[in-house]
Structure 1
Amino acid sequence: MLDTGGRACINWLIQIVNDLIVTTLQTKHENAELPFIECGDPEKFQRIKQFPSPRIVATHLNYNHLPKSIFKNKAKILVVFRNPKDAAASFFHFHNNAPSVPSYNTWEEFFSEFMNGTVAWGSYFDHAVAWNKHIDDENVLLLTYEDLKEDLLNGVKQIAEFFCFAPTMEQSQSIADRASFQVVREKSKETHGAAGPLLFRKGVVGDWKTLFSESQNQKMDAKFKECLAGTKLEAKLKYDVYCKA
């Protein structure tokens, strides 16, 4: 899995995929390892190999920085994108609320670094350009946060089909009900400890409007057009729907 939309997106997807595994395969693997590629000691990958399949590995890394073994082994890659304005707003709040990461004095300071691609895990737009080239790869399913929020049941069905799970309609609906953002947020302390409320803060589409100035809107619009105008990813992100002031 790869996330370019904020900390909540990928943790939300991990929960959905885990639920699909438990529901359809009638099995639950106890995996104490943090699933993110870029976190933990190098030896953890050897430990992860000992866990039975299917295994979930997550990352915020750019496509070009992914381990070559992912492609060699033809692993299936589930990618989630969030519109860049909400992604920036979410990341800003995460930085200023999580005690283990640097904070920013002002939104203006963060926005400048976000646009320059100097925030943690690099440029949103570099991610977008790289993944747009692979949007039709057989082993890639690219979803958007906004579509999942609008119709989670359909998202669960797409994910299940991609990973060759075969839940019944009733099972798919139950998974979608358990994975609604509101339910996940309410249970976040139980599932993720003290970090839960930080990971699942609001989940609102359009929250960027509370932060962006007119000038910042124009800069983001121009950057998006420069990088993604006319691409399949632009169409998926529905920029004109979710990112116009």
Structure 2
Amino acid sequence: MTNRVKFLQEVEKVVSAAEAMSPDKLLFTYNGVLFPSTICNAETFEALGSCFESREDDVMLVAYPKCGSNWTLQLLYDMVYSIHDKEPPGIIPMLEFGAPDKFERLKQESSPRVLTTHLFYDNLPKTVFDKKVKMLVVFRNPKDTAVSLFHFYTNNPVLPTYSSWDTFFQDFMSGKVCWGSYFDHAVAWNKHIDDEGVMITTFEEMKKDLDIAIKKISEFFGFSLTEEQVQFIANKGTFKSMKEKSMQTHGQFGQVLFRKGDVGDWKNNFTEAQNQEMDAKFEECLAGTKLGEMMNYNVHCK
């Protein structure tokens, strides 16, 4: 059985389990933050601190949900596996997903391992910092992130459905959504924007010029790519290409993961009052910061 088949079977198992559950059981709270109960559990969070062992050459991706993590993960997979004609492992690379025994299986994976997480900076396992693991952190403007997460909830059997965008917006602004507050996540990472071994990029920057983004990311992780390899990864990594192959790569869940991938879709959802509320929140949390500058808020959110 190929690793891809194993991965797809895991995904199907999660979707089937979620479809059999009542909506009120789909989420649980751990340390004050909501998580999906079919893919996360308290035992795995506890084991993450004691059983997970980082390696110095781990390739770590961090992103708040719907900021481009699946897209960027595909690019990293291609850098590490495809161009070396290796098959990616069958294990789901999200640190907090699955049962605690996954950490034993991770020990068997050859280096470099591609790993990812939606966890906040302060919730990352200590071993990541002890081993000085390089971390690529991807951000997306908060308005598009909110809209994308709303549709993700609505189309996703693993999460409860919202009755309206307005209801979801209030929960997003107060951090009562899976993986907690976008703004808390951003504020925490802004404090570490200049840390050695941290590279922050944005969804919008990658959309603008994927070739340049791939070159920067590969240089950060110390991968030597030829122009042909960069082009190969960029062609495979367009949103159109990934959406077309999503059934093949992610099974029925592919339709949930890859919706539009646009910049500016928020304009189809936000009311004027919601615009003002989000603008005020951004001003309060990120205006004048390095991360705030990188996000080009006035270009993408006005």
TM-score by length of structure 1 reads 0.96
2:66 aligned with 1:6: yes
Aligned position for 1:17: 76
3-state SS of 2:199 partner? strand
Matches within 5 A, 1:25-104: 26-104=84-162
Question: Contact 2:62–2:69 (CA<8 Å) still a contact in 1?
Answer: yes
Q: What is the identity, as a one-letter code, of the residue corresponding to 1:42?
A: P
Deviation at 1:122, TM superposition (A): 0.4
Q: Between Structure 1 and Structure 2, which shows a larger proportion of strand residues?
A: 2
Question: Contact 2:64–2:179 (CA<8 Å) still a contact in 1?
Answer: no
Cα RMSD after superposing both structures: 1.1
Whole-Å Cα distance in 2 between the matches of residues 239 and 179 of structure 1? 25
Question: Contact 2:69–2:138 (CA<8 Å) still a contact in 1?
Answer: yes
3-state SS of 1:143 partner? strand
2:202 aligned with 1:126: no
Q: 2:207 aligns with which of 135, 146, 149?
A: 149
Change beyond 3 A, Cα 1:137–1:29: farther
Question: Contact 2:81–2:88 (CA<8 Å) still a contact in 1?
Answer: no
TM-score by length of structure 2 reads 0.78
3-state SS of 1:33 partner? coil
Q: 1:225 aligns with which of 283, 296, 300?
A: 283
Question: Contact 1:5–1:145 (CA<8 Å) still a contact in 2?
Answer: no
Q: What is the identity, as a one-letter code, of the residue corresponding to 2:72?
A: L
Question: Contact 1:5–1:80 (CA<8 Å) still a contact in 2?
Answer: no
2:199 aligned with 1:160: no
- 4+ runs of 1 displaced by more than 6 Å? none
Question: Contact 1:178–1:184 (CA<8 Å) still a contact in 2?
Answer: yes
The unaligned stretches of length 5 or more in structure 1 are none
Whose relative contact order is higher, 1 or 2, with alpha carbons under 8 Å and at least 6 apart?
1
The unaligned stretches of length 5 or more in structure 2 are 1-60
3-state SS of 1:79 partner? strand
| Number of positions where the alignment pairs a residue of Structure 1 with one of Structure 2 | 242
Question: Contact 2:77–2:88 (CA<8 Å) still a contact in 1?
Answer: no
2:178 aligned with 1:117: no
